[in-house]
Structure 1
């Protein structure tokens, strides 16, 4: 079997343009992948078309070599853009492998390590950023059957906050805990917002509400800062979604300070992601992959998580996207009572409906401006 072509499609989801890839083969099997990167849909699309000549004619089963050709052989560090292009193509190759062999993707990654995957809800807090809104929206989430939910209570904060905004963020956390009760996991999203000192002040203040984790409290690339926060915080720290190579995870893990690792298959590809899950396992840690880029990314993570013994929680945006988002895939991907299982059909288990997808074109205002007021409403940027 040989790769004959790679095609790209951008779907204009209002809060983030989704980029999908289809890889064709000479045996008529087509694989689906995703290369979504907030604010860079057309950039990643261009990278895919610039790199595809490296893999045309290759066997899609040779994913390790395909990855080397698109990363090592180019001899450039294109960061998350290059990683997204790689992951889109490589995911489609795994989809092709599953279809050719007649098995779901998780079977290729190690088989079933869990009966089902516990999910945490994200993207649910779109109706206001005050404590009353958080309270009411959180109750709706647990009424849907979720036993864990994540939220960013910090508004448009960056590095430091004034005293009133600090108090408001803690009130939001308290309101969610009050709404969901003591038995539901609440996960606090930091979005790389804070200085070390501000992050630690927040960690101390939120600790009475028993968050399961404080995610990405400081910018990711100074690993020493993340390690300092992790060692001093009374709340467990989670991070990893920004990293795009194994070496960054190796550097983080060697400090033995962060034990909830949120690798992003969208930046790594499945081959590296599986290896990183093993690295985390060796450090006695757990994985909670980031799957907020788009719907195919969520399905990829479901397959990876099912085959990962040290999996912890699965992130779900899909229940809180626009209703039409389920229409562009067949069959739809559903969470039931806060749990899901990856599709059992061969490969990824879903197909992109091109006619439906074409109804939602690219728009430059479709991106998530995390440091602007009202970003959480996930509306197009004017």
Structure 2
């Protein structure tokens, strides 16, 4: 079996899909994207195409090594994401070739179901309460929320109090038998993070995500030592090498994004590395159906898995949503906030190719918002 064709599709709301075709007729799908830089990653995918055409798609690890190390300049979000989507597609082909879901190729399932969480917004406690209640009514047992909007480098007492009030409002709806994750989104300075993690401890989050920007990873150990809240990081880390210092600093939850961190192959290794440190895995996935399908395959085969993010109804998905490019959306039917193992071979989903090709004709140009502080200086989004 040989790889004969590689295509990419820019599809709304902000995703990039890739399709790898073989001479046996088996097709694999992946989702290589950096949100806001989809066109750049698309170019990188087609550069990597040069080393894939005519090759055996089942040599997944060899392809991963060549794609990541076959150039003098390595790493970074664009290359790692291009490799990630291709890697997903190659595993999809391998599973379909062998007539088995990918998690069976990874050693078989270690659990019967995967726990899911959803994102909630709302700038005021009342709006937040409504959003959390909708997720609870949908059966989810955990939600994640941003800690705040734009935050000054040294926040006012009111800003700190407002952030805590929003978390308390969410907890009031969830009760003590459901979980609340809080995302600092890298928009919180070290000075503010110190105050917030202390103030949020009574709310008992399951974790605080990206408490500092990745560039300040050297400060994580100090922050972890100051709080009983589990700290989580990883959506902007792209390899085992990137994750090692964060684990050594004491983070409790790693969050590799399977569309950024080298795909299924590298994310499995990141999970194994985390296990050495007693840390758990909660894959980051505010993306599309192929990325989520890849995450689920890893989740079912990973002993130290914790919980899985998904993007159904997230605020980014205004023009298209998680299920719009699937032939059978029922594969992602949640039952009591959990998903059962997909039984179909490969990634376990059937992509609606006609819908993808039609969406690619329209494309998208999604970009991250640019925020500024009151004085006009740049603010982290």
TM-score by length of 2: 0.91
Q: Distance in 2 between matches of 1:280 and 1:305?
A: 14
Q: Distance in 2 between matches of 1:68 and 1:100?
A: 22
**Residues 90-130 of structure 1, C-alpha deviations (whole Å, 9 max, x = no match):** 110000000000001111112110010111112x32xx310
Match of 2:336 in 1: 337
Deviates more, 1:345-354 or 1:23-32: 345-354
Match of 2:181 in 1: 187
Deviation at 1:144, TM superposition (A): 1.1
Deviation at 1:88, TM superposition (A): 0.9
* Secondary structure class of the residue paired with 1:9: strand
Deviation at 1:359, TM superposition (A): 4.5
* Secondary structure class of the residue paired with 1:326: coil
Does the Cα contact within 8 Å between 2:205 and 2:229 map onto a contact in 1?
A: yes
Deviation at 1:162, TM superposition (A): 2.7
Match of 1:348 in 2: 347
- 1:1-382 mapped onto 2 (5 Å cutoff): 1-13=1-13, 17-122=14-119, 124-125=120-121, 128-157=122-151, 159-255=153-249, 257-267=250-260, 268-320=262-314, 321=317, 325-332=322-329, 333-360=332-359, 361-364=362-365, 366-369=366-369, 371=371
* Secondary structure class of the residue paired with 2:33: coil
Deviates more, 1:232-241 or 1:302-311: 232-241
Q: Distance in 1 between matches of 2:335 and 2:148?
A: 30
Q: Distance in 2 between matches of 1:358 and 1:38?
A: 20
Q: Distance in 2 between matches of 1:160 and 1:146?
A: 35
Q: Distance in 2 between matches of 1:67 and 1:286?
A: 24
Change (3 A) 1:202 1:243: same
Change (3 A) 1:370 1:231: farther
Q: Distance in 1 between matches of 2:228 and 2:146?
A: 18
Match of 2:378 in 1: none
In structure 2, runs of 5+ residues without a counterpart are: 374-381
Deviation at 1:223, TM superposition (A): 2.2
Does the Cα contact within 8 Å between 2:102 and 2:347 map onto a contact in 1?
A: yes
Q: Distance in 2 between matches of 1:68 and 1:158?
A: 43
Q: Distance in 2 between matches of 1:112 and 1:25?
A: 28
Does the Cα contact within 8 Å between 1:158 and 1:371 map onto a contact in 2?
A: no
Q: Distance in 2 between matches of 1:56 and 1:50?
A: 11
Match of 1:379 in 2: none
* Secondary structure class of the residue paired with 2:369: coil
Q: Distance in 2 between matches of 1:283 and 1:324?
A: 36
Q: Distance in 1 between matches of 2:225 and 2:370?
A: 27
**Residues 52-93 of structure 1, C-alpha deviations (whole Å, 9 max, x = no match):** 101112211111111111111112135111011001111100
* Secondary structure class of the residue paired with 1:151: strand
* Secondary structure class of the residue paired with 1:223: helix
Q: Say what the alpha-carbon RMSD is for the aligned residues.
A: 1.8
Change (3 A) 1:158 1:43: farther
* Secondary structure class of the residue paired with 2:65: helix
Match of 1:377 in 2: none
Number of aligned residues: 365
**Residues 18-68 of structure 1, C-alpha deviations (whole Å, 9 max, x = no match):** 100000111111100001211011110011111210111221111111111
* Secondary structure class of the residue paired with 2:214: coil
Q: Distance in 1 between matches of 2:284 and 2:349?
A: 20
**Residues 121-160 of structure 1, C-alpha deviations (whole Å, 9 max, x = no match):** 12x32xx310110111111111111111101030122644
